[in-house]
Structure 1
């Protein structure tokens, strides 16, 4: 078991079933879905897979398996302390659902949400103040987790405002106001619809690369 886990803008709710998918459509570059299933995404000898499937990671029928999408798992008892950063992104509600379940399992977790930031903003736009700020916090989290400085009962959540990067404390319990069973039902319903989709290659022809 590791001493701790620190995750940046993790992919959660891979079935794209929760309200944040539409709510942050204007902000997140992932709004159109995974790049590798887009109409013009180039094909090669690796992708589409043989036999073809609906997602790069797995067949779409497995999108709600915890080994594919950890946000679908709700019992995190016995896990080490964790730290998460996320933006106002497609996966936003999935991340919040994951964080709330970790906290409810008695595992200390810290969640930092950045206003108006898309998925993986620090990688896509490393020059932003929000990127430098979040990477600094990520590094500090890794050090604190490695040094064993995070104790049980110390779950925290913050909202980082766009302008001055002010970290406003918030309640973990109010991050996502949707009952657990309803969230899981939405995820499974979206999975069942996506299970019918198979990506066989771009509509515009195969890449010559």
Structure 2
């Protein structure tokens, strides 16, 4: 994908995809496309082109570096870069306490340490053109200008997507600017540590540092303390996963360790106003049926799921980033930890969610839809006010990649309305919700309510068995890799 950064590379990328574009247009026009009646031509072309671009063939380090390139800051946005200073190790101790409280077996994980966390304050900037440069002023002055325009007292803590090993707050500026514009709130977008260099639970520790930094600002912070009741945690894809596991961590710590030492102060662990997610990645094994059944609508190819063959790690040229030593089959976590609730929220018990604030889940008719719907079912059974919206025929994170479409605008509008409702108290943890998914039809022409209990025809027992099999292939594959690695080391 790095070739798209220069004009010649972009031209070549366009030329080699001309046959794909023409074929897609032809099949769509004569209504022989497999997505006829589910996707308009723009959506179908977007999915087809993205599917052709997202091919993981280069070394992981190169893929990662290419995805981190800063596009610069221009247009209707304020961005103030900050570094949240390293707190005491108590934050890591708290996360480990939550991990241990939720363990169900012999899950293993790294102890990553606590580090300073970089982040970006982002807000909508009115009255400027799309190419207007940001003024050459200090980060503090930028924050002050941002706060003048972001008049609401809520704050959105945003955790970006990218499968836990790609992307960055700098690539998400247009997304969080849209959220700021629609809510009137500033957004703190977190540069959490990426795998495979920093596997689970490094990102979770960084996310908790960011959350506590909002509640109890470290010395030298630009912002004033933000009450938890004014914070919305938000994220997409892997960032949706991280948003949900951060909430699970907070819920668990409230029961097991309700106070954390943070920059010399004892900070109570309190719940945010709500959590808003887009296409959350709830099953890191990607084992649910929709991964395959909905692949025609999505640009993410389904993973190999063959029980006859031990699962192998991402097959790309080696570099100093991947594969790791000792070997793992998964970029993000050890194979025996893939079903830990703080890795794959889908695998957790429904009781973990008891007492949670309202949760918003938006998704397309995509590969990850089953896991999101089943998790929402668990939340509802635990008494959580959960609002679910599914858009017919839409791919993964459609609102982020197709902002200007009717579906994209509705996604941002509804997310913003949820944020306002939970902060004003219109929607609280005690508000009863019907437990439905709102299914939004093709081109927004109709909607219908589907009970979460009927949205996915799998029982909890069937889900657990599918997850167990998906994880077991990886566990067996990782053992084989370790044996091979140890054998080579002895030579």
Same fold (TM over 0.5): yes
* Larger mean Cα displacement after TM superposition, 64-73 or 125-134: 125-134
Which of 58, 79, 89 does residue 333 from structure 2 map onto?
58
Aligned to 1:153: 432
Superposed CA deviations along residues 58-103 of structure 1, whole A, max 9, x for unmatched, are 0222211101011111221111111111111111111111000000
The correspondence of residues 110-125 of structure 1 with structure 2, limited to 5 A, is 110-125=387-402
1:203 paired residue number? none
| 1:69 alignment partner, one of 344, 351, 361 | 344
Q: 1:3 to 1:68 in 2, by over 3 A?
A: same
Please, which runs of 5 or more residues in structure 2 have no aligned partner? 1-270, 305-312, 482-491
Please give the root-mean-square deviation of Cα atoms over the aligned residues, in Å: 2.1
Q: Which moved more, 1:165-174 or 1:3-12?
A: 165-174
- For 1:78, the equivalent position in structure 2 comes to 355
> Tell me, which stretches of 5 or more residues in structure 1 are unaligned?
201-209
Give how far 1:165 is off.
Answer: 4.8
- Structure 1 residues 118 and 2: CA distance shift in structure 2, 3 A: same
* In structure 1, C-alpha distance between the alignment counterparts of 2:443 and 2:402, rounded to whole Å: 16
Which residue of structure 2 aligns with residue 135 of structure 1?
Answer: 412
- Alignment partner of 1:177 is 2:457: yes
Question: 1:88 is matched with which residue?
Answer: 365
The 10-residue stretch of structure 1 (92-101 or 45-54) with the greater mean CA deviation from structure 2: 45-54
Rounded Cα–Cα distance in structure 2 between residues aligned with 1:135 and 1:47: 36
- RCO higher in structure (CA 8 A, sep ≥6): 1
Q: Residue 146 and residue 50 in structure 1: after superposition, are their counterparts in 2 closer, same or farther (change >3 A)? A: farther
Q: Is the 8 A contact 1:130 1:165 kept in 2?
A: no
TM-aligned CA distance change 1:124 to 1:56, over 3 Å: farther
> In 2, Cα distance between the equivalents of 1:93 and 1:56?
23
Structure 1 stretches of 4+ with a deviation exceeding 6 A read: none
**8 Å contact from structure 1 (residues 5, 145) kept in 2:** no
Is the deviation greater in 124-133 or in 12-21? Answer: 124-133
Cα distance in 2 between the residues matched to 1:139 and 1:44: 42
Is the helix fraction higher in 1 or 2? Answer: 2
TM-superposed CA distance for 1:180, in Å, is: 0.7
SS of the equivalent of 2:443 reads coil
Alpha carbons of structure 1 residues 197 and 138: separation in structure 2 relative to 1, 3 Å: farther
TM-score by length of 1: 0.84
Deviations 1:12-38 (A, max 9, x none): 22222221111112112222339xx65
In structure 2, distance between residues paired with 1:150 and 1:123: 25
Contact 1:17 1:190 in 2 (8 A): yes
The CA distance in 1 between the partners of 2:451 and 2:336, in whole Å, is 34
Q: How many residues align?
A: 196
Q: CA deviation at 1:55?
A: 1.6
The separation in 1 between residues aligned to 2:384 and 2:294, in whole angstroms, is 29
Alpha-carbon distance between aligned partners in 2 of 1:134 and 1:89, rounded to the nearest angstrom: 15
Provide the residue aligned with 1:166 in structure 2.
Answer: 446
Larger Rg: 2
Could you report, residue by residue, the CA deviation over 1:85-138 in whole angstroms, capped at 9, with x for unpaired residues? Answer: 111111111111100000000111110011111211222333432122112211
